[in-house]
Amino acid sequence: MGRSKGIIVSVKVPIRWDIMTDRQRTRLSQITGRDTRVIKAYLGVIERHEKDLLVGKRKKKISAGKVDELTLTATRGKSSRTSVPHDFKQRFPNMSVNEFQECRDTAIAMWHSYLEKGGSKPLKAKGYSSRKIPRFAFDKCFSLLYTTDKAIKHWLNLRYSVESVKEKRVTHDRLLVPLSPSSYHLKKLKEGELKSVRLFKDRRRKWWAIFSIKIESEPVDSSSLPPAVMGIDLGIEKAACTVLLTSNGYRHVRYWKQLDKVKRMKHYDQVIASLQQKKEFLLSENKDSSRVAKRLRELSEKRARLSQEYDKKLVKDIAEHILELTDRFDLYIAIGQLRGIRGTARKGNYRGRRFRGMVHRWSFARVRDYLQHKLTTSGLDSKRFLNVSEAWTSIKCNKCGSKGYRPKQNLFVCGTCGFRANADLNGALNIGRRVIKLIPSLRDEKTGLGVWLLSNEKSIPKASRGNDSKRKSSLSQRKPALMGESMAECYEQASLEMHACTEDPVVVNTVEEPSVSKMTGSLGGAQRTETRCRGRDNVPMNLDKAQVISENPDYLKAGDGSPEHGGTQKFLSELTHSNRAESGL
């Protein structure tokens, strides 16, 4: 029988260290310290014999049986070993075989993480040499107790082998650890099957028990429904923009804002900045700054907890919206993955303190991970949640693929086809289109979403760049090429509605799509043109704002926040001369 494909979640429960006896505290410290030494010893053996321990076609797995042949003697069964190269039973005489195996599995899991992600080996990685490494105590070695006649109701009953192995007793001692679970912890512990527990002490010398729970969730079967892709563009002031790409156009456009979070985060930033200045002043005067430093740590931790709570609320709302759509569509989720955004906010990049603080406060990775975990535990297949690169999505036109520009943070304009839309909506559409290009079943125009792809995008994309690319952009090289502002450069958010839902493909009311033919017409003075645009399903859409074009430089400056950087005047002048030349004027 194969292994069940349940979902493993972790529940972090605090330990009541203050009411434990001295013996309990000593034994708990002995267990964690001894386990750390054993795990590091296993890591050393794996590092020394790595080539002999790797198995599988990809050579990415460590054989637990081969590790035992190097470390543990055995006198029973067919594989009896009286001597091994590294005798752990002699080196650590007060450990049971089950505890050895648990430490071995922890070390193997750490090594598998190194093989998959790369980087430094575990023993050479930063932090491994100084901190304690908790082992996984599996379900046969622990249990949860509930007592009604004691002040502490919840206890962790952990198998303890130091004294029993020393005295050569078959039955091991038990260590009772008092717990302080909340109603949330108890609810999570009852949702699935307990698999393992880890005990560790954090930097503030507070003890925790982390329980791993296996939850069996019913998978969502939507193969008979029409296909759709949910594109998610994460922002800073406006937390997210979601849009559903279907064969009949895009629908269900929503903007998720957290104005209260932005306000409270700015308040904490100001208070923390003032405390940091006060601390630096006290240090420069050789005065005691411990009280200020303590207050600074408290506020920083409070700000971090507050940010996490807002992110969880955002993820809950978006997940509920997505799960409602799974009843009507065969849904894929595409979310933008930012790379290198932190590097743009380093000191020395001349972006200013405000920009650095804004970017470093942006918890896009946490929101993405929380959302994936929430959807997976709700039954959505993890393979349908895809992270795609967000590079160029904010200034690339989703209709023609050309590079556009952003005269304002919430407005995208394409100078090639004349498409105008909300910039976050355009980015979410581009993110969804990238998933359509990657999945063969979605690229089909009849049964999938191939209508969203351009003619040059309907072929199978290459896995990597060739040697002749010379690191050039994959954007269309059509002229005129506009110098637009990137997402990191335009961060002043304009106010938008909290939810903007659409049942048919429409453009958000705050933007409009100009007609190229009318743009290239008479430009002698200010011209007002009522415009209409069409969606992917060729449905006409009325827009409630007009497009005003003028040759007056002052008027153009008023419509573009930075005309020199965005190239708006240059583009319009070139467009005017080229059209007059074609008409023979």
> Measured between alpha carbons, how far is 30 from 22 in angstroms, rounded to an integer?
12
Positive or negative, the Cα torsion across 556, 557, 560, 565? positive
Positive or negative, the Cα torsion across 305, 310, 311, 316? positive
pTM score of the predicted model: 0.66
Range with the poorest average pLDDT among 164-173, 178-187, 265-274, 477-486: 477-486
Alpha-carbon dihedral angle through residues 473, 474, 478, 480, given to the nearest 10 degrees: -40
């359509």: which residue's tokens?
436
Confidence at residue 231, expressed as pLDDT on a 0 to 100 scale: 94
Query: For residue range 144-158, what is the model confidence (pLDDT) as tens digits?
Result: 999 988 889 999 999
Query: What distance separates the 2 farthest-apart alpha carbons in the chain?
Result: 105
Spell 328-355 as b/e; 16+ CB within 10 A means b.
ebbbbbbbbbbeeeeeebeeeeebeeeb
Choose among 29, 399, 365: nearest CA to 250.
Answer: 399
Please, what is the average pLDDT of the chain?
A: 76
Residues paired with residue 250 on neighbouring β-strands, in sequence order: 245
> Measured between alpha carbons, how far is 462 from 473 in angstroms, rounded to an integer?
15
Q: Which long-range contacts (CB under 8 A, 24 or more apart) does 294-301 make?
A: 296/272, 299/268, 299/271, 299/272, 299/275, 300/272
Confidence at residue 169, expressed as pLDDT on a 0 to 100 scale: 80
Query: For residue range 367-416, what is the model confidence (pLDDT) as tens digits?
Result: 998 999 899 888 888 889 999 888 888 888 998 889 998 888 888 999 88
Q: Give residue 474's Cα distance to chain centre.
A: 25
> Measured between alpha carbons, how far is 315 from 372 in angstroms, rounded to an integer?
9
Give domain limits for the chain: 7-215, 227-462+478-582
Confidence at residue 473, expressed as pLDDT on a 0 to 100 scale: 47
In this model, does residue 63 exceed pLDDT 70?
yes
Strands 330-337 and 227-234: parallel
Choose among 214, 64, 66, 35: nearest CA to 137.
Answer: 35
